[in-house]
């Protein structure tokens, strides 16, 4: 656990409340996650991170579920405990079934394995991949 | 570049040729990538890795394109040069457009950023994510 | 928690006590951190690691605070829970304010993001950076 | 090298040129680095990343040189070749001497070593670090 | 802790029980570790992973103890808490003494340090290593 | 390639030559690797790193070959190109055969895969591993 407390809505400065309000409105949730309550210790980072995530995670050429699964794949590769927990929940909310999660983990595991095989065997890039 | 040469089909042992033939048949390609020509130095790893990838990357609850993009997200996070090159090509072949690639990179970059913010602020996992 | 117990001063061999004494004297602390009490299971590593850290972390061309913040940046990037906790404390003791911590995290997060954008877009090194 | 070409100013769309102009003005340089010429393939990411970096890297509680050295510490830890090259140059431009670089590398190396010793010995966090 | 429960033998489907039985027989243990009870949520991954590990970890040109120590070195480098705990136990069962563990950690720490020194100094590969 | 030149013996200061001489004598080689010629830009790091490596890599409870293979396993996991090249050569010189290398890579790949499966499934540590 962190030695610094989370900053709850009731104790937040107006600039922090404005971000919390936008998160709650955008995500249709009653309260924001701990991640935001800790970033609130640094309001410029809170604001910038939320605005970037809102832009990046909005459905576009990729749908919301695909984006959440990619987020989870990165978090699992990095071994970020908080991020794995929160984005597993977010991906499930976006429609990820148990079967999809199982296949996602299988791909993530396999990619981490072959990344090292390519490193260890010092495989040169095929000319076809440069064109 | 690797100090060991790639093992081409013409020089390969029968057990290696059998795997190469299956890769070419499954992927409908004229020749296999360097990755397989280097793994051919260790036939049991070549066979096991190919059979695992064939099973893992087959369309299931997730389609082939989603799986390739997840593979690419992991490879970019790990900074594996060969894997980024080969799986960028594979994802494009499976239908990834420039716009999809751009959004994929944006999500991968953002996830790598917030993974560290969660680490640094030592954010405790929300009780809701444990249920 | 580790299955092996920490080795406290009272139970330590003379060669371990000598290192503990030097840590306490150098850092002006009443007791050493758990890190050293666990390394004490391997006295040569304890001695070598302490002497290296003492040399590396001493103020030189970079002051003590800058060095602690760099240490923390690495630990956050690697996701090492113990190291984040202990070097956050060490950096604060060396003078890091909340505002400095916030900016440090913002830089660490941004660097982890752009590292992956550079990987994914396969950006070639500018000739100017080679000179 | 990337299979996709850099997008130079002469070939860039107006929204890309606007970002390039702001980078050149802010950094007082004649041309932008390859990083920006590749991100130009995805204008929203180009714009968002530049605006974030401009905000994050501006001197505040930490000066510009300290921020560049932290950026470099992260890039070295992640092994991002492009980022190491470009931020070594940026740090030198901001005033990093050879001696400062040497000490920076020493701290980065030592932190990566002790991160693993803490992991391997499974060192529990000292109660004092939780307060 | 995971929000999903472990799948115990008593509640497992026949295809899962078959894998559990083979693990127990091969390793001569009364019950399987949590790792397998969680993978049991995805029977194809459970089966493929067990068969791969059984093949890879069998003594060959490298003995079982050496293989377990290499496994542990990777897990410590990645900071995977579960894997460090389980493979520390497995390596000890295979014969790793306290002294061997101490030397293993010393090598792992040193390799993680010099990996970053090589990155940061941008050391070009010696021609002799290419032959 | 690095923008700074390697420091060769002929151009080295006496304190650098002393380290180079000890490396050549200890390893029975005619010249030192590039790694040392680049560290020579910072003599204290050169000296400390060489003395640490000499102590850590000396045969003890683990023989020289096992230590080199562990070093290589870490370098492959981190994707450090220089370190993979130099420690592949060192491990071969210490007696690693093609077959041993193949098994080493198989273990490294598998450990990187299962590290992520353990992360993704959020597997809790078995009580037996805590004792």
What pLDDT is recorded for position F2? 64
Q: Using N-to-C axis directions, what is the helix angle for B98-120 and B81-93, rounded to 10°?
A: 140
Nearest CB to F84; choose among A85, A114, A120: A120
**Over the stretch A94-126, which tens digit does the pLDDT of each residue have?**
999 999 999 999 999 999 999 999 999 999 999
Q: What's the Cα-to-Cα distance from D104 to each of A71, D83, E69, rounded to whole Å?
A: 32, 16, 31
Closest chain C residue by Cα to residue B75? C120
Q: What's the Cα-to-Cα distance from C75 to each of B116, B122, D66, D73, D112, rounded to whole Å?
A: 10, 12, 17, 10, 7
Mean pLDDT, rounded, of chain B: 96
Interface test with C, best of A15, A35, A40, A41 (most C CBs within 10 A): A41
Q: Could C69 and D74 be called an inter-chain contact, meaning their C-beta atoms sit closer than 8 Å?
A: no
Partners of residue A88 in chain E, C-beta under 8 Å: 3
Partners of residue D129 in chain C, C-beta under 8 Å: 85-86, 88-89
Sign of CA dihedral B54, B40, A109, B79: negative
What pLDDT is recorded for position A2? 62
Is the minimum CB–CB distance between B29 and chain A shorter than 8 Å?
Answer: no
Q: Could C76 and B119 be called an inter-chain contact, meaning their C-beta atoms sit closer than 8 Å?
A: yes
What pLDDT is recorded for position E4? 83
Beta-carbon pairs below 8 A across chains A and B: 201
Partners of residue F104 in chain A, C-beta under 8 Å: 120
Q: Could E45 and A106 be called an inter-chain contact, meaning their C-beta atoms sit closer than 8 Å?
A: yes
C130: pLDDT confidence band, cut at 50, 70 and 90? confident
What pLDDT is recorded for position E52? 98
Is the minimum CB–CB distance between C45 and chain E shorter than 8 Å?
Answer: yes
pLDDT at C104 over 80: yes
- Is residue C39 a contact partner of residue D117, using CB atoms and an 8 Å limit? yes
3-state secondary structure of D50: helix
Q: How many residues does chain B have?
A: 131
Nearest-CA distance D46 → chain A (Å)? 12
Q: Please measure the distance between the N-terminal and C-terminal CA atoms of chain E and give it in whole angstroms.
A: 49
Nearest CB to B102; choose among D42, D78, D80: D42
- Is residue C73 a contact partner of residue B109, using CB atoms and an 8 Å limit? no
Interval D35-40 mean pLDDT? 98
Mean pLDDT, rounded, of chain E: 96
pLDDT at C131 over 70: no
Distance separating alpha carbons of residues B23 and B36, to the nearest angstrom: 9
Q: What's the Cα-to-Cα distance from A5 to each of A8, A11, A83, B12, E66, rounded to whole Å?
A: 9, 11, 19, 62, 45
Sign of CA dihedral D117, D122, D128, D129: positive
Interval D109-118 mean pLDDT? 98
Residues 66-105 of B with CB under 8 A from A: 66-67, 69-71, 73-75, 77-78, 80-83, 85-89, 97, 99-100, 102-104
Q: Rounded to 5 degrees, what are φ and ψ at E124?
A: -75, 150
- Residue E99 parent element (H or E): helix E98-120
Closest chain A residue by Cα to residue D131? A3
- Is residue B15 a contact partner of residue B43, using CB atoms and an 8 Å limit? yes
The better pLDDT of the pair D3, D114 is held by D114
Quickly list H helices, A14-80: 14-27, 34-39, 43-57, 64-78
E1: pLDDT confidence band, cut at 50, 70 and 90? very low
Instruction: Enumerate residues 6+ apart whose C-beta is below 8 A from E92.
Output: E101
**Over the stretch C68-91, which tens digit does the pLDDT of each residue have?**
999 999 999 999 999 999 999 999
pLDDT at F105 over 70: yes
Is the minimum CB–CB distance between F21 and chain E shorter than 8 Å?
Answer: no
What pLDDT is recorded for position B131? 61
What pLDDT is recorded for position C2? 62
pLDDT at B46 over 80: yes
Nearest CB to C115; choose among D83, D125, D126: D83
Q: Could C84 and B120 be called an inter-chain contact, meaning their C-beta atoms sit closer than 8 Å?
A: yes
- Is residue C130 a contact partner of residue B95, using CB atoms and an 8 Å limit? no
DSSP secondary structure code for residue B110 in this structure: H
pLDDT at B1 over 60: no
What pLDDT is recorded for position F3? 74
Q: Catalogue the E-assigned strands of D11-87.
A: none
Measured torsion, CA atoms of residues A112, A117, A122, A123, in degrees rounded to the nearest 10: -90
State the number of CA atoms in the 13 A half-sphere of F55 facing the CB: 17
What pLDDT is recorded for position E131? 61
Q: Is the ipTM of this complex over 0.90?
A: yes
**Over the stretch F67-102, which tens digit does the pLDDT of each residue have?**
999 999 999 999 999 999 999 999 999 999 999 999
- Is residue E34 a contact partner of residue E6, using CB atoms and an 8 Å limit? yes
**Over the stretch F4-62, which tens digit does the pLDDT of each residue have?**
899 999 999 999 999 999 999 999 999 999 999 999 999 999 999 999 999 999 999 99
Neighbouring chains of C at 3+ CB pairs within 8 Å? A, B, D, E, F
Partners of residue E44 in chain A, C-beta under 8 Å: 102, 106
Q: Could A45 and C102 be called an inter-chain contact, meaning their C-beta atoms sit closer than 8 Å?
A: yes
Closest chain A residue by Cα to residue E80? A79
Interval C1-20 mean pLDDT? 91
pLDDT > 90 in chain B, percent: 94
What pLDDT is recorded for position D3? 72
Is the minimum CB–CB distance between C3 and chain D shorter than 8 Å?
Answer: yes
Q: Could B102 and D45 be called an inter-chain contact, meaning their C-beta atoms sit closer than 8 Å?
A: yes
Nearest CB to B42; choose among F85, F88, F102: F102
C1: pLDDT confidence band, cut at 50, 70 and 90? very low
Which of these, C103, B98, F61, lies nearest to A61 by C-alpha position? B98
Q: Could F105 and A121 be called an inter-chain contact, meaning their C-beta atoms sit closer than 8 Å?
A: yes
Interval B69-92 mean pLDDT? 98
**C-beta atoms surrounding A43 within 10 Å:** 18
Q: Could C52 and F48 be called an inter-chain contact, meaning their C-beta atoms sit closer than 8 Å?
A: yes
Instruction: Enumerate residues 6+ apart whose C-beta is below 8 A from D6.
Output: D34, D37, D38, D40
3-state helix, strand, coil in chain D (%, to 5): 70, 0, 30
Nearest CB to D70; choose among C45, C104, C113: C104
What pLDDT is recorded for position F93? 96
Closest chain F residue by Cα to residue A104? F120
- DSSP letters of D90-110? HHHHTT--HHHHHHHHHHHHH
pLDDT at A81 over 80: yes
- Residue F54 parent element (H or E): helix F43-57
B34: pLDDT confidence band, cut at 50, 70 and 90? very high
Q: What's the Cα-to-Cα distance from C54 to each of A52, C23, C72, F53, rounded to whole Å?
A: 41, 9, 16, 18
């Amino acid at each position: 656990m962190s030695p610094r407390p989370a900053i709850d809505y009731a104790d937040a400065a107006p600039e922090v409340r404005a971000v919390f309000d936008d998160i709650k409105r955008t995500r249709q949730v009653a309260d924001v996650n701990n991640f935001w309550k800790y970033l609130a210790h640094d309001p410029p980072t809170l604001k910038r991170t939320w605005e970037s995530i809102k832009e990046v995670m909005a459905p576009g050429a990729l749908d919301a579920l695909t984006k959440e699964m990619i987020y989870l794949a990165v978090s699992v590769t990095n071994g970020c405990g908080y991020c794995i927990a929160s984005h597993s929940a977010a991906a499930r909310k976006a429609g990820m079934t148990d079967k999809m999660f199982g296949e996602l983990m299988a791909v993530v595991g396999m990619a981490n394995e072959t990344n090292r095989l390519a490193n260890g065997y010092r495989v040169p890039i095929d000319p076809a991949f440069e064109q």
